[in-house]
């Protein structure tokens, strides 16, 4: 790929595929609400002649954006077939958008598409791009307060593609290192016991009063938010639309409204350097390095 190509959305541009190949856009829809769809992804959906995705995710898109387009839809565990059909549609000349919820590069379709393009010899000849979306962990964090203000680890509990032994090692390492833990795919009907095992692993390193946040269907119609502790979290209320955030040793629950906390916060360290009440002035006028992107 030339330097010019590298600066153009990481698209491969080479010999034509078929007669007039289209563009393949792997796009993130965000967590589900229309207000979180980026203008860039909306533009690509408007321009597309074909849209591919998991049936549930296609249902999150404004029907007007799908009208008159070829729809490539399939259910859970049909990812390879869905990606293959999207690649074929683009190679045949249709500008095609393959959608993922959240961000396509965070447990989405971007990696699989790139591997398949490589295997089929299309990585440098088909016009492709990956368009970011708001990941579910960002939406969940905002709803909970600010639990990801310090270092955190993101782990999927799905053992469909990753052996449980590997997941256990990652949970053990992250919990023992005092990372905030973000758990994706926490509890399915076929493997309800894995969440309990994950919480037990975390419990070996975290006290029962460690704050825990549970967000279900973030930014969708049946959105729900719960804040509690490692001792009070109820695995039975968790499903595949849920995301769990387990705090670290400094995470706190702030305020009370009835019996529920107002916010879940992992301090970054400002309280140790400054008078946050604003009554005594800063303890240290040196500003901490703000190295967040």
Which tens digits make up the pLDDT trace of 239-249? 999 999 999 99
212-231 residue pLDDT tens: 999 999 999 899 999 999 99
Q: Which CATH number belongs to the domain containing residue 249 in this structure?
A: 3.30.950.10
The SS3 call for residue 235 is helix
- Return the pLDDT at 284: 53
Which of residues 134, 168, 184 is at a domain's end?
A: 134
Q: Tell whether 261 and 150 lie within a shared domain.
A: yes
Domains in the chain, number: 2
**Is 288 within the bounds of a domain?**
no
- Return the pLDDT at 260: 77
> Concatenated DSSP letters for 124-143?
TTSEEEEE----HHHHHHHH
Q: Tell whether 248 and 120 lie within a shared domain.
A: no
Q: Tell whether 102 and 203 lie within a shared domain.
A: no
Q: Is the pLDDT of residue 288 over 90?
A: no
- Return the pLDDT at 235: 96
* Alpha carbons 216 and 140: distance in angstroms, whole number: 8
pTM, entire model: 0.86
Q: How far is CA 77 from CA 61, 80, 81, 161, 282, in A?
A: 21, 8, 9, 11, 55
* Residue whose C-alpha is closest to residue 187's, from 135, 231, 241, 228: 241
**What is the domain extent for residue 122?**
3-134
* Alpha carbons 25 and 172: distance in angstroms, whole number: 37
Residue for token pair 């400002």: 270
Averaged pLDDT of the chain: 90
Q: How far is CA 131 from CA 62, 108, 205, 220, 231, in A?
A: 18, 11, 38, 21, 39
Q: Average pLDDT of 89-116?
A: 97
82-96 residue pLDDT tens: 999 999 999 999 999
Q: Tell whether 176 and 105 lie within a shared domain.
A: no
Q: Tell whether 265 and 228 lie within a shared domain.
A: yes
Q: Tell whether 119 and 158 lie within a shared domain.
A: no
- Return the pLDDT at 8: 42
Which of residues 134, 155, 185 is at a domain's end?
A: 134
Q: Tell whether 145 and 218 lie within a shared domain.
A: yes
Element (H, E) at 18: none
- What's the number of CA atoms in the CB half-sphere (13 Å) around residue 284? 9
């Amino acid at each position: 790929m030339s330097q010019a190509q590298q600066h153009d959305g990481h698209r491969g541009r080479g010999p034509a595929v078929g007669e007039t190949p289209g563009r393949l856009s792997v796009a993130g829809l965000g967590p589900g609400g229309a207000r979180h769809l980026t203008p860039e992804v909306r533009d690509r959906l408007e321009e597309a002649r074909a849209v591919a995705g998991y049936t549930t995710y296609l249902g999150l898109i404004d029907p007007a954006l799908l009208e008159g387009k070829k729809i490539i839809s399939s259910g859970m565990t049909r990812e390879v077939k869905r990606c293959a059909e999207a690649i074929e549609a683009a190679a045949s000349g249709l500008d095609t958008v393959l959608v993922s919820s959240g961000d396509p590069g965070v447990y989405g379709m971007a990696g699989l598409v790139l591997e398949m393009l490589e295997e089929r010899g299309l990585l440098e000849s088909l016009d492709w791009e990956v368009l970011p979306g708001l990941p579910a962990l960002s939406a969940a964090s905002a709803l909970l307060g600010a639990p990801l203000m310090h270092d955190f680890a993101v782990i999927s509990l799905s053992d469909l593609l990753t052996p449980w032994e590997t997941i256990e090692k990652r949970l053990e390492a992250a919990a023992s290192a005092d990372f905030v833990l973000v758990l994706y795919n926490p509890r399915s009907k076929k493997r309800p016991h894995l969440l309990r095992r994950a919480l037990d692993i975390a419990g070996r390193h975290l006290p029962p009063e460690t704050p825990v946040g549970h967000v279900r269907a973030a930014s969708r119609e049946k959105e729900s938010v719960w804040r509690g502790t490692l001792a009070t979290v109820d695995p039975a209320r968790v499903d595949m639309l849920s995301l769990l955030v387990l705090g670290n040793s400094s995470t706190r629950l702030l305020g009370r409204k009835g019996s529920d906390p107002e916010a879940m916060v992992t301090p970054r360290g400002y309280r140790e350097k400054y008078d946050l009440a604003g009554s005594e002035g800063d303890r240290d006028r040196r500003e901490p390095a703000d190295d967040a992107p």
